[in-house]
Amino acid sequence: MIRVCADLDALSYAAAELFATAARRAVAARGRFAVALAGGETPRHTYEILAASPFREELPWQQIHIFWGDERCVPSDDPRSNALMARRALLDHVPVPAAQIHAISCGDDPQRSAVDYEQLLRTFFVSSEPRFDLVFLGLGDDGHTASLFPGSDALAEKKLWTAVTSKSGEEFSRVTLTLPCLNRALQVVFLVVGATKARVLHAVLAEGPETLPLPARLIKPTDGQLVWLVDGAAAGSPRPPGPCPF
Ligand code: 6PG
């Protein structure tokens, strides 16, 4: 499903609504909601909306468990940290119990952190497969998502749920969820904003074979829903102001 929204504001409200609906449904069905947050810049406004009324008052934060789709292996107070962005925009403002916020801290030993995170996920999900109720993902202009970059060995991982990767030009490693983990989610929602993403979004959504597989194209929930929330600029077709249409 692709929803083309007028702008970042409309897209972020639509993403917050999807989060709220998924949270209420999961808590009603299983007594808890497990969500993997995206990093980067695009989701910030969605998190800020969730941290404000009415979501701050209305959502079952005590039953919400926060994970991340990926993290940069930098100190926890480094502005590049995905967890720090989410704490400042959302988690410092809502009553999610600290023990239910599962940040990936991989500054010292990325490999060890990836193994530990996988163990945490296997313990949390108990069953033999990870079933996030919701995964938020962004789209990089090279077609990466989470920290799965074009040409990465991690794209071939079929069993493990986490991997250590790196992005050329960055001095730090990253820890990312892998396709076997991401594709078991009940719902995956991409958030894509801005004209700079138009070319890669078109390439990712295009049908047919491609030379170097764009990682975002490999996100195909095996038993879940895939939603693209994009703004008019990224879609290459401006939309009138107002709420994001279904
Ligand atoms: C990261 C993100 C990454 C991000 C995309 C889009 O840690 O960098 O997980 O996958 O979602 O690069 O980033 P923007 O939203 O900043 O464009």
Q: Picking from 22-36, 61-75, 204-218, which range would have the lowest pLDDT averaged per residue?
A: 204-218
Q: Residue 138: CB within 6 Å of ligand 1?
A: yes
Which uninterrupted H or E stretch holds 58?
helix 55-58
Mean local confidence (pLDDT), 102-126? 95
User: Which residue's structure tokens are 């808590």?
Assistant: 27
Per DSSP, the three-state class of 104 is coil
What percent of the chain has pLDDT above 70? 99
Q: Ligand 1 atom 7: the closest Cα is on which residue?
A: 39
* Nearest atom within ligand 1 for CA of residue 174: 7
Q: Residue 74: CB within 6 Å of ligand 1?
A: no
Give me the pLDDT at residue 141, please: 95
Mean local confidence (pLDDT), 95-115? 96
Distance in angstroms (rounded) separating the CA atoms of residues 90 and 84: 10
Asked whether the predicted pLDDT for residue 74 surpasses 90, the reply is yes
Mean local confidence (pLDDT), 12-29? 98
Give me the pLDDT at residue 246, please: 86
Q: What is the pLDDT of residues 163-217, one digit of tens each?
A: 999 999 999 999 999 999 999 999 999 999 999 999 999 999 987 777 668 999 9
pTM of the model: 0.97
Q: What is the pLDDT of residues 129-177, one digit of tens each?
A: 889 999 999 999 999 999 999 999 999 999 999 999 999 999 999 999 9
Mean local confidence (pLDDT), 108-121? 96
Q: Is 99 exposed, middle or buried (0-12, 13-18, 19+ CB in 10 A)?
A: exposed
**Position 97, amino acid:** P
Asked whether the predicted pLDDT for residue 122 surpasses 70, the reply is yes
Is residue 201 within 8 A of residue 230, CB to CB? The reply is yes
Q: Residue 143: CB within 6 Å of ligand 1?
A: no
Distance in angstroms (rounded) separating the CA atoms of residues 208 and 202: 12
Please give the distance, rounded to the nearest whole angstrom, from the Cα atom of residue 38 to the centre of ligand 1: 7
* Nearest atom within ligand 1 for CA of residue 40: 16
Q: Residue 215: CB within 6 Å of ligand 1?
A: no
Among 40, 172, 19, 177, which Cα is nearest to 110's?
A: 172
User: Which residue's structure tokens are 């962005």?
Assistant: 85
Q: Residue 130: CB within 6 Å of ligand 1?
A: no
Among 116, 100, 11, which Cα is nearest to 64's?
A: 100
